[in-house]
Amino acid sequence: MQALRMNVQGYLSSATKNPLRASRNALLTIVTILVLWKYLVLFMGMSVEMSKQISLNIVIAGNPSATYYPLGDQVLIIGGLFLIFFAMVQNEISLRTLRNLGDYKSYIATLTGVAGLVLFWAIAENIELSSRTQAPFLVIGGAFLTGFLLVQDEMRELSALIIESILKPRGAVEMWKGSWRDVVISISAISLFFICLFNLSMLSVYIPSLYYEQDKVFSILMLLTVTIWLVVMSKESAKPAVVNKRHSSMAFLISIPLLLYVSFRILLLLRTDPTWDVSWDFMDSIAGFSISNWPNQVNPYAGTRWDFHWAGVVNAVRVVLVSIVLCTVIGIIVGVMRLSNHKLSSGFGTVYVEIFRNMPLALLLFTISITVGNTLPNMADEFDIAGTILLSNQGIFTPAIDPGLLFIAILVPVLAKAYTTYADRDGFDDSDEGVRTRFRMWVGVFAVATAISLSNGWDVPTIWKRIPASPGSWVVEGGFEITLPFICIIAGLTIYTSAIVAEIVRGSIQSLPRGQIEAGISLGLTPFQRLRLVIMPQALRSMVPALNNQYMNVWKNSSLAMVVAYNDIFYINLVIVNKIGKAVPTFILILITYQVGSLVISAIMNLYNRRVTRVQI
């Protein structure tokens, strides 16, 4: 209260000195309060009505109401959601907390929140509460009480006092005498809540709105709480940690009506709308449509929808891995070209970046698809390269290699890389002789890998016509097919992302001190050596976090593969939705899949980022 009084006095003093500014601030405050009031009344009103709807159980012919949820279930679902937000704002749970569970004081507020949820659930399960008044008051009032206690920020002290009083009952009186003023507001709020909850009928005689217009009551209380604390927070000079926690608590308090509305709305939809049946039993049925995937072709007559989903994941991962490699290589080349003193190189890099970075990806994919489809010849006029590769508008057919030998051939350079990493543990030999030796070694490695992969020969594709008189009966046997949709989606993702990667590379290199480049010049390093040994290792420190975002964007942007008719996750699941109508569970599955992929990419890039930042500059 002392802080609030000082803030009011400061506001009046500033208003006397600058009346125009004070008038503008007053008008802004009034508008903000009116908007906040409209928001609170709107969502609180809908939340209270939906709470009454799901709490009221009207039994007809022995069947309960379709929208009925037992009050205990409401407390567990909505209370559990708010407990998660409570724990996030308290920010007490961490790996250190889990390693030191005996230090209960470090997470005592969150523990008290769990105990409060258990208490609310016990009340809902064991005490008969009115479905029209006390049930909404318990759930919605409990949510508001959670936000109020968070903003008040007295729960840690209050919980510690209660536990210390239980453990040391003889000194409890002295402890409360010295500390009750620090927790009196929280104790009063909790006590007032339970008094009102169990005496709503009696209190309705004196305060009818508490019984008939609970949405207005909670809106007024929330508006007063938010207004008072915003005034206090605008003038306070507490520690940054305290200020940040109060900002988080205030954001949570303001979002409570919206969170309640969304929670109640989802609960109603789960009972009233069949499309909100969040179960994936339908994925066990036969899909009934055909897709193109590799390496394991799914049988459209026997494959389940789960098989098709995982085939879409494999298709998307193939595209993303290839696109990430290509966009990184092209992006680095174009980014370095933009820094070149050669006008033609820098001009080409600038044009490349400005055109493709500003082009919508969907439009770029559509353009590539139309261009490639119209450029490649028809199947009857296929383009033959050395009698081994066939190009047509149906795809590119290349010789196929035995998969087992291909795996061994790939394993050879991987083992060579592991050896060079071990050999260079004490430093890389960058002398001319060392570079030549390393070059000869890698030439030999790739020669051995090529020899292994081709040791059993390759399967060359052949084309023939099944029905001579039919124009569409061409058959290609043998070889390996690279479909046009695969080429188009890789080209689109690579070109679009490489333009952004080029800017990341350029900005990271330009952020380096000029002295680093001059030091390389003074050592007699060639431009390529300066780039490889001096510039790029240091630029990676700022490049990797930005590249992490772009690699995740490649994964998420692959959902536009349906523009070029490529069978990825989004395309396959969209077909499933159109066939059976299970939109909500299907899109939740898509969301989870993309979320997992993004987290995997982020984890890999964070590991690499820690590696390149081990040495502090």
Task: Tell me the domain boundaries of the chain.
Answer: 2-272, 305-400+458-612
- Contact indicator for 496, 356 with CB cutoff of 8 Å: yes
Distance CA 406, CA 453 (A): 5
Neighbours of 86 (CB within 10 A): 24
Neighbours of 610 (CB within 10 A): 10
Residue 525 amino acid letter: L
CA distances from 370 to 96, 169, 216, 491 (A): 56, 81, 59, 13
Instruction: Name the pLDDT band for 10 (thresholds 50, 70, 90).
Output: low
More confident residue, 509 or 596: 596
Two tokens, residue 264: 């109640």
Alpha-helical (H) ranges within 376-513 are 403-423, 432-453, 484-510
Residues 515-539: pLDDT tens digits?
777 777 777 777 777 777 777 777 7
Return mean pLDDT, the chain.
Answer: 83
475 pLDDT exceeds 80?
A: no
CB within 8 Å of 73: residues ≥ 6 apart: none
Can you name the CATH fold of 305-400+458-612?
MetI-like fold (1.10.3720)
- Judged by average pLDDT, the poorest of 32-46, 79-93, 196-210 is 196-210
Q: Which whole number is the average pLDDT over 444-468?
A: 76
Instruction: Name the pLDDT band for 476 (thresholds 50, 70, 90).
Output: low
What pLDDT sits at residue 224?
A: 92
What pLDDT sits at residue 398?
A: 78
Instruction: Name the pLDDT band for 557 (thresholds 50, 70, 90).
Output: very high
Instruction: Name the pLDDT band for 18 (thresholds 50, 70, 90).
Output: low
Distance CA 433, CA 517 (A): 24
What pLDDT sits at residue 292?
A: 76
Q: Which whole number is the average pLDDT over 175-192?
A: 82
Residues 109-155: pLDDT tens digits?
888 899 999 999 999 999 988 888 899 999 999 999 999 998 888 88
* For the chain, counts of helices (H) and of strands (E): 23, 6
Residues 156-171: pLDDT tens digits?
888 888 887 787 777 7
The angle at the Cα of 105, spanning 104 to 107, to the nearest 5 degrees, equals 70
Neighbours of 574 (CB within 10 A): 17
What pLDDT sits at residue 496?
A: 95
What pLDDT sits at residue 28?
A: 83
More confident residue, 257 or 400: 257
Closest CA to 509 of 320, 338, 307: 338
What pLDDT sits at residue 382?
A: 65
More confident residue, 611 or 34: 34
What pLDDT sits at residue 600?
A: 94
b/e for 312-341, b at 16 or more Cβ within 10 A? bbbbbbbbbebbbebbbebbbbbbbbbeee
- Contact indicator for 328, 554 with CB cutoff of 8 Å: no
CB within 8 Å of 134: residues ≥ 6 apart: 197, 200
Q: What are the DSSP calls for 290-306, one per residue?
A: ----SSS---TTT-BHH
- Judged by average pLDDT, the poorest of 58-62, 137-141, 264-268, 434-438 is 58-62
Q: Please identify which residue in the block is written with the tokens 């006095």.
A: 9
Q: How many residues does the structure list for the chain? A: 617
442 pLDDT exceeds 60?
A: yes
CA 8 from centre of chain: 42
Instruction: Name the pLDDT band for 541 (thresholds 50, 70, 90).
Output: confident
510 pLDDT exceeds 60?
A: yes
Q: Which whole number is the average pLDDT over 1-28?
A: 60
82 pLDDT exceeds 90?
A: yes
Q: Which whole number is the average pLDDT over 228-254?
A: 79
Pairing type for strands 462-465 and 389-392 reads: unpaired
Distance CA 466, CA 448 (A): 40
- Contact indicator for 225, 151 with CB cutoff of 8 Å: yes
Distance CA 193, CA 321 (A): 56
Q: Is the pTM of this model over 0.85?
A: no
What pLDDT sits at residue 137?
A: 92
More confident residue, 47 or 341: 47
553 pLDDT exceeds 90?
A: yes
Two tokens, residue 465: 């016509």
Q: Which whole number is the average pLDDT over 74-101?
A: 85
Half-sphere exposure of 486 (CA within 13 A, CB side): 20
More confident residue, 8 or 123: 123
494 pLDDT exceeds 90?
A: yes
CA distances from 269 to 49, 63, 278, 544 (A): 15, 19, 11, 43
Question: Percent of the chain beyond pLDDT 90?
Answer: 30
- Judged by average pLDDT, the poorest of 378-392, 544-558, 582-596 is 378-392
CB within 8 Å of 476: residues ≥ 6 apart: 390, 394, 397, 461, 462, 463
More confident residue, 466 or 421: 421
330 pLDDT exceeds 60?
A: yes
Instruction: Name the pLDDT band for 35 (thresholds 50, 70, 90).
Output: very high
11 pLDDT exceeds 70?
A: no
What pLDDT sits at residue 83?
A: 92
Neighbours of 148 (CB within 10 A): 21
Distance CA 120, CA 77 (A): 12
220 pLDDT exceeds 80?
A: yes
What pLDDT sits at residue 381?
A: 65
Question: Percent of the chain beyond pLDDT 70?
Answer: 88
What pLDDT sits at residue 156?
A: 83
- Judged by average pLDDT, the poorest of 58-72, 178-192, 335-349, 539-553 is 58-72
Closest CA to 40 of 221, 210, 173: 221
- Judged by average pLDDT, the poorest of 66-70, 303-307, 335-339, 384-388 is 384-388
Two tokens, residue 2: 């002392």
For the chain, give percent helix, strand, coil, nearest 5. 75, 5, 20
What pLDDT sits at residue 4?
A: 44
